[in-house]
Amino acid sequence: MANSSNLQVTFSKRCNGVFKKVSELCTLCDAQAAIIVFSPGGKVYSFGHPHVDYVIDKFLAPNPPPNDGLLKFIDAALMPVALPQCST
């Protein structure tokens, strides 16, 4: 856009719309989300649920190990069914 005033107005409207959509997503889906936007003038705008720092820290943290207890439970439940079929 040629006019910087129009650019700022458009940015402001679009930014508010995006933040509203992220907020709705968090509310309706019980999601955790963060968004960081830089304006044409270099200002930083952010939104996060529950907090931007929390979501970013969680994203950057190493993945937790798989729940081996659940996998052992599933294997134990399926084992009696699988053995008779394999022994014929």
Return the pLDDT at 44. Answer: 94
* Extents of the domains making up the chain: 4-86
**pLDDT mean across residues, the chain:** 83
Fold of 4-86: SRF-like (3.40.1810)
> For every residue of the chain, which 3-state class applies, written as one string?
CCCHHHHHHHHHHHHHHHHHHHHHHHHHHCCCEEEEEECCCCCEEEEEECCHHHHHHHHHCCCCCCCHHHHHHHHHHHHHHHHHHHCC
pLDDT at 3: 83
Give the predicted TM-score (pTM) of the model. Answer: 0.62
At residue 66, the pLDDT reads 64
